Structure 1
Amino acid sequence: MNANALSPRGIVLFAHGARDARWAEPFERLAAKLRALSGSGTQVSLAYLELMTPDLAGAVAAQVAAGCTSITVVPVFFGQGGHVRRDLPLAIDACRAAHPHVDIRGTVPVGEDDAVLDALAAYCLRQLS
């Protein structure tokens, strides 16, 4: 049996951050939904680029401490602006350097996924009622 199959996996939802703590509420709800759907074998964390904690390095370190050997960073952004194109790859590379035994990968921003765009379009259409 694959040893990684027994290790918890990690998902880090990576968002921009804001001064107003209420800004993070939808991301916290998303993380809670993901925890409920993914089961106990998956660690789910939030991380922020700036203005809020934890940062990506802190979230990844916590997941590594919890035993994760595979971590996926999901940018909760609508597109690939400078933060996703420039800042996030540097932060992921720093995490890889700090934890060379852990498979750390990033995905495209959620806003570039057709299923996410379909859900948003359906939401917008419901507002016409």
Structure 2
Amino acid sequence: MGNHGMILFGHGARDARWQEPFQRLAAKLAAARGDAGPVGLAFLELMTPSLPDAIDGQAAAGCDTITVVPVFFGQGGHVRRDLPALIAQCQARHPNVRLRCAGAVGEDDAVLDAVVRYCLENVGD
């Protein structure tokens, strides 16, 4: 079995503090995966690394499969148009690496249920 990397893909922002929860999420995911393969972050704009750079790094590290997980709440234009174009560009650069793309995390019912629980836990009395 080969090395399976994962990349959490976010939008990016000018304020460096914006990526702190993404860094925590990546650390939690890496701990949960153990030795299954590397976990990285990538951003569409305003922050580094870019998705192509992150994929280049994992491919160079020996990953033969990389799953990109869009950490977006919904499937807007970035997830519908920009991300598939980036994946196609990266696939052309790495034809021997299997690139997979998950759906936007915010469209998963388990994620929505977790947000509901969070909201209910934060209702003031």
Partner of 2:54: 59
For structure 1, list consecutive stretches of 5 or more residues without a partner in the other structure.
Answer: none
Of 20, 28, 34, 2:29 maps to: 34
Q: Which runs of 4+ in 1 moved over 6 A?
A: none
Matched residues, percent identical?
62
CA RMSD, aligned part only? 0.7
Q: For 1:23, what is the secondary structure of its paired residue?
A: helix
Partner of 1:20: 15
Partner of 2:86: 91
Mapped partners of 2:36, 2:119: distance in 1: 34
Paired residues, number: 124
Provide the TM-score with structure 2 as the length reference: 0.97
Mapped partners of 2:90, 2:100: distance in 1: 10
Q: For 1:46, what is the secondary structure of its paired residue?
A: strand
Residues 66-103 of structure 1 deviation map (CA, whole Å, 9 limit, x = unaligned): 11000000000000111011100000000100000000
Provide the TM-score with structure 1 as the length reference: 0.94
Q: Which amino acid aligns with 1:11?
A: M
